[in-house]
Amino acid sequence: MDIQTQVYPRVTVVSVQGRVDSSTAGDLEAALQKLIEQGKSNFVLDLSGVEFLSSSGLRVLVTTLKAVRKTGGDLRLAQPSQRAADAINLAGLDVLFQSYGDREAAVASF
């Protein structure tokens, strides 16, 4: 799994590539937690390169969403891959996350 971060004035974009499963979800969680500790509260997760999203990965999304909402922020999804979207929908989490067809629309939503 590869994680890349781009910081903009109002939002931080985190691009995730590869598999987000039980062996890699901790890395994603640690990266997001570090950004939260740095005072970032508005996130766009670009999931276009996600090949697999397990329940461990879904847990990271939900816990991060809760953490940023406590600080007045939000987490939005940009162009989730079909597999990521299927996992989110199957788990019934699609009602929790605002999802956008491209990164620019997600960033502009803040």
Residue-level pLDDT, tens digit, the chain, 110 residues: 999 999 999 999 999 999 999 999 999 999 999 999 999 999 999 999 999 999 999 999 999 999 999 999 999 999 999 999 999 999 999 999 999 999 999 999 99
Strand partners, 42: 74
Tell me what pLDDT residue 41 has: 94
Tell me what pLDDT residue 42 has: 97
Q: Which domain holds residue 22?
A: 2-108
Contact (Cβ atoms closer than 8 angstroms) between residue 12 and residue 44? yes
Tell me what pLDDT residue 76 has: 97
Whether pTM > 0.85 for this model: the answer is yes
CATH number at residue 55: 3.30.750.24
Structurally, the chain folds into a number of domains equal to: 1
Contact (Cβ atoms closer than 8 angstroms) between residue 49 and residue 78? no
Tell me what pLDDT residue 15 has: 97
Give phi and psi for 73, each to the nearest 5: -100, -170
